[in-house]
Amino acid sequence: MQHPPYLQQGALIGITCPSGYMPMERIVHAISVLEQWGFKVKVGKTAGMDKGIYFSGNDEDRRDDLQAMLDDPEIDAILMGRGGYGLSRIIDALDFTAFLNKPKWICGFSDITVLHSHIMAQYHIPTLHSPMCGAFKPGTEDSSYIRSLHEALTGAALRYQLPAARYNRNGTASAIITGGNLSLLAHLIGTASDVDTDGKILFIEDTGEYLYHIDRLLVQLKRTGKLAGLAGLLVGHFDNMKEVTRPFGQNIVEIIWDKVKDYDYPVCFNFPAGHEDINYSLRLGMEHQLTVNDSGTVLEQLG
């Protein structure tokens, strides 16, 4: 599978905000760290753009800024400022012709799942599920999860080892990783950006949802066959889950397990990626080996 070139010293990283508003002061520290890593940075017009609305500029602003980054032959990777909501409003207006001539790493998560899934569905080019600018806070520069973005961009071997967790299901799978934010994966079903899960290791995460919403999203994935043919399931952070007046009756782990208990592929809970500070990078669209046993879980990229 073709993948974007790994970055060398002096590579150029573009920063854009194709979804929610991000104040410039939250981007400045990320720029400083990227420069300390030896990269050059090009900041798009939507970084810090405040039009008094939820989005970082209107649809045209955000589309044009992301399009310019995709088209720029000097840019080697695009790091998103933040997620939120907005990419699905502009995804069909983007032209990937120049991107296909020179693929570059797309870095982000949450609403950026739309872009990850679209690029994989249409072009089969790997992307990075990774921290964004908002994760670069003073004192975190040397944390292993921030450093994982540098490692993912520069071609280092990614290998993650986790302790055993209740409801894990033992097994081994070698397959491409796909997925991202659960709400967005369900939102994309039936579109040109729909995720193909067959024979894949599916990664899911989410934040701030009611438990019954999560149940409904997973039922949607199951009814559309997206949980039946998996090679494996990787469950990331599901933080800030909420209840309504009457309790749902299952916690988040039980809700997920209930949807996959009848299958036989390996399942790993508590993978440290998603909407918490500790958010390790994953090379979506590339083959990994997932090994789950009584000692814990190992996820490592192959090749």
pLDDT tens digit string along 48-59?
Answer: 999 999 999 999
Residue 98's domain is classified under what CATH number? 3.40.50.10740
CATH number of the domain where residue 262 is located: 3.50.30.60
CA pair distance 302, 199, nearest whole angstrom: 16
Q: Is 37 contained in some domain?
A: yes
- Split into its structural domains, the chain has a count of 2
Residue 141 CA from chain centroid, whole number: 20
Q: Are residues 166 and 124 in the same domain?
A: no
| H or E stretch covering 219 | helix 211-223
- Asked whether the predicted pLDDT for residue 1 surpasses 90, the reply is no
Q: Are residues 163 and 142 in the same domain?
A: no
Q: Is 96 in contact with 125 (CB distance < 8 Å)?
A: no
Q: Are residues 133 and 178 in the same domain?
A: no
Q: Which residues does 97 contact at the CB level (< 8 Å), separation at least 6?
A: none
Question: Is 2 among the domain residues?
Answer: no
Which residues neighbour 159 within 8 Å (Cβ) at sequence distance 6 or greater?
Answer: 298, 299, 300, 301
Q: pLDDT per residue over 144-164, tens digit each?
A: 999 999 999 999 999 999 999
Residues 51 and 143 occupy one common structural domain:
yes
Position 154 scores a pLDDT of 98
pLDDT at 224 over 70: yes
Same domain for 96 and 214?
no
Whether residue 24 is found in the same domain as residue 119: yes
Answer for the pair 175, 232: CB distance below 8 angstroms, yes or no.
yes
- Quick: pLDDT tens for 46-104: 999 999 999 999 999 999 999 999 999 999 999 999 999 999 999 999 999 999 999 99
Boundaries of domain holding 143: 12-154
The verdict on 296 and 163 lying in the same domain is: yes
Asked which of 154, 187, 210 is the last residue of a domain, the reply is 154
- 282 and 225 assigned to the same domain: yes
- Does position 251 have pLDDT exceeding 80, yes or no? yes
The pLDDT value recorded for residue 104 is 98
**Which pLDDT score is estimated for 2?**
78
Tell whether 7 is covered by a domain. no
Whether 129 contacts 273, CB under 8 Å: yes
Give percent of the chain above pLDDT 70. 100
pLDDT tens digits for 120-152?
A: 999 999 999 999 999 999 999 899 999 999 999
The answer to whether residue 116 sits within a structural domain is: yes
Nearest to 233 by CA among 171, 188, 154: 171
Closest Cα to residue 279, out of 156, 108, 126? 108
- Considering the domain architecture, whether residues 197 and 292 belong to the same structural domain is answered as yes
Q: Which of 103, 119, 154 is the last residue of a domain?
A: 154
Answer yes or no: do 130 and 166 share one domain: no
Give alpha helix (H) positions in 94-133.
97-101, 113-123
Same domain, 47 and 150: yes
Same domain, 145 and 34: yes
Give CA–CA dist 86/101, Å, rounded. 26
In a domain, 1, yes or no: no
Classify residue 6 as exposed, middle or buried by CB count within 10 Å of its CB (0-12, 13-18, 19+).
middle
pLDDT, position 149: 98
Q: Reply yes or no on whether the pLDDT at 183 is more than 70.
A: yes
> Is the residue at 275 inside a domain?
yes
